Chains A and B, each alone.
Chain A
């Protein structure tokens, strides 16, 4: 296989990993964002945490795999991104650590103050992680100033620009919606009924951010739309994306939470697809001088590395799909509490 094909294959595989991560971890981050607002009693809060209890850490593996594959397949892009987003990624790490620990610690001690502290830790970690993912994606779309060696010439303050924050808020709203739908499928009675309002609220907030982001991107980030001029067929992704957005209120209205959740999965996956399509062939866009951009071709490892990784991916993927399937099947249905729950 020639070098350029390998590079493109690995770009696509990175997209698959990112989409898998966003769809899967998206709902458990969303559960964390809604947690202190929708779950009122202690039992409800335990239900909310246990709905994602057996699933969230498996979902985060997708992020680890995404980072690991980026390091091995596109080391130059990894260096640019991880150094350039150093402060943001440290905050992200703190958020993810705090969130995980909040889940584990919260129900270990029967004290209101203790539990309330970790409830808000769970919320704060989930909210901050979602926001930062969005900010990172926003900056990737808009591009950052890079020098000829691929070093980012922007600080975390520059990265918290209006566009980055807008995409960040959109991500928070989208994950809250996605998590609300998941929680709806996992709960019953009063708790479930109360989720209804929050799903509509998150959808409303998402819709506002979604439209603002679309307008902002088309008007002010010309590079994001050039690929669509070259390949008009990609308009189909846009159509699928818009249909997925439109299907969610329809399903909510008719009371089809399963279909609404499927739509939010498609919505997230198509957003990642659009992101990848807008980015290609860049991994990190230089907005000061296009020649400094880090692309799939100038950032890739040797063909030998990419080939070996491809073999590993082809062997490993069926296992991942199988164990993920088994876990989700084992923990299907409504969430129940027992002595060993969170």
Chain B
């Protein structure tokens, strides 16, 4: 497989794995085809995830510069991007799971592999790794015989429905909150401070609870 549009860091993966730029990285060609994970899905989902992460860093930097220049609150195009960026954050979260879960197939528990003294993978006569199957567990063997496919399917459908409903309710509430706008901040003991630290002080003093009941909502003496 050839890679186009590649940003290459020579020896980068070697360094990440072995902390040595010259050490070779073991490739999938050292494993039998039936012991390899599908590559397209983890590759694509992982790269989209990293791309989203980089885009978020770029957005944050842009916003920081605009804030510094005092132009952020007028840059509506950027603020609109931030409105939808939350979807990207969720997507990145899910894509990371896809990369991890698909990337570890066909194993639920990967059997150990052996290494030679000079850090090379021990392979059999035909040049590929010989697993001791007793020490690992294949996904196909890990499926419970007492759970049927239709049970799994109905739970997937059920979860999708409940998440769609909750997602819709969440958007509805969020939209109302945003349209309503923030309440006028309460005056703290030393007068409200108009910066980040001031906001943090108000929050940590118990004036605003995160999930509902504030400290003074239940008070015997009240």
Residues of A with Cβ closer than 8 Å to B? Answer: 50, 53-54, 79, 83-84, 86-87, 90, 94, 97-98, 101, 104-105, 108-109, 149, 151-153, 330-342
Of B144, B162, B215, the contact of A151 (CB 8 Å cutoff): B144
Nearest A residue (CB) for B161 = A94
Could you say which residues of chain B place their CB within 8 Å of the CB of A341? Answer: 212-214, 217
A-B contact pairs, 28 of them (CB 8 A): A50-B218, A53-B211, A53-B213, A54-B218, A79-B144, A83-B144, A87-B155, A90-B151, A94-B158, A97-B162, A97-B166, A101-B166, A108-B177, A109-B173, A151-B145, A152-B146, A331-B213, A332-B220, A333-B220, A334-B218, A336-B216, A336-B217, A336-B219, A336-B222, A337-B217, A340-B212, A340-B214, A342-B212
Of B146, B147, B169, B214, the contact of A153 (CB 8 Å cutoff): B146
A338→B216 contact, CB < 8 A: yes
B114, chain A: closest CB distance, angstroms: 23
A109→B146 contact, CB < 8 A: no
B135, chain A: closest CB distance, angstroms: 15
Residues of B with Cβ closer than 8 Å to A? Answer: 144-147, 151, 154-155, 158, 162, 166, 169, 172-173, 176-177, 208-209, 211-220, 222
A334→B220 contact, CB < 8 A: yes
Known contacts A83-B144, A83-B147; 18 additional CB pairs below 8 A are A54-B213, A83-B146, A84-B146, A86-B147, A86-B151, A101-B169, A109-B176, A153-B146, A332-B218, A336-B218, A336-B222, A337-B217, A340-B212, A340-B214, A340-B217, A341-B212, A341-B214, A341-B217
Nearest B residue (CB) for A87 = B151
Q: For the complex, give the distance between the alpha carbons of A149 and B220 in Å.
A: 56
B188, chain A: closest CB distance, angstroms: 16
A144, chain B: closest CB distance, angstroms: 10
3 closest residue pairs by CB, A with B: A333-B220, A83-B144, A151-B146
Could you say which residues of chain B place their CB within 8 Å of the CB of A109? Answer: 172-173, 176
A149, chain B: closest CB distance, angstroms: 8
Of B158, B173, B208, B212, the contact of A54 (CB 8 Å cutoff): B212
Q: For the complex, give the distance between the alpha carbons of A72 and B43 in Å.
A: 33
B218→A340 contact, CB < 8 A: no
Could you say which residues of chain B place their CB within 8 Å of the CB of A104? Answer: 211-212
Nearest B residue (CB) for A117 = B169
B155→A90 contact, CB < 8 A: yes
A99, chain B: closest CB distance, angstroms: 12
Q: For the complex, give the distance between the alpha carbons of A151 and B146 in Å.
A: 6
A340→B146 contact, CB < 8 A: no
B51, chain A: closest CB distance, angstroms: 32
Q: For the complex, give the distance between the alpha carbons of A332 and B151 in Å.
A: 44
Could you say which residues of chain A place their CB within 8 Å of the CB of B169? Answer: 101, 105
Q: For the complex, give the distance between the alpha carbons of A53 and B172 in Å.
A: 23
B212→A53 contact, CB < 8 A: yes
Q: For the complex, give the distance between the alpha carbons of A151 and B169 in Å.
A: 39
Q: For the complex, give the distance between the alpha carbons of A90 and B169 in Å.
A: 22
Could you say which residues of chain A place their CB within 8 Å of the CB of B208? Answer: 340
B180, chain A: closest CB distance, angstroms: 10
Could you say which residues of chain B place their CB within 8 Å of the CB of A339? Answer: 214
Q: For the complex, give the distance between the alpha carbons of A335 and B222 in Å.
A: 10
A333→B209 contact, CB < 8 A: no
A108→B212 contact, CB < 8 A: no
Given contacts A79-B144, A94-B162, A332-B218, contact A340 B209 (CB under 8 A): yes
Could you say which residues of chain A place their CB within 8 Å of the CB of B214? Answer: 338-341
Q: For the complex, give the distance between the alpha carbons of A330 and B213 in Å.
A: 11
Could you say which residues of chain B place their CB within 8 Å of the CB of A338? Answer: 213-214, 216-217
Q: For the complex, give the distance between the alpha carbons of A109 and B171 in Å.
A: 13
Q: In this complex, which of B146, B172, B173, B215 has the most chain A Cβ atoms within 10 angstroms of its Cβ?
A: B146
Nearest A residue (CB) for B166 = A101
Q: For the complex, give the distance between the alpha carbons of A341 and B214 in Å.
A: 7
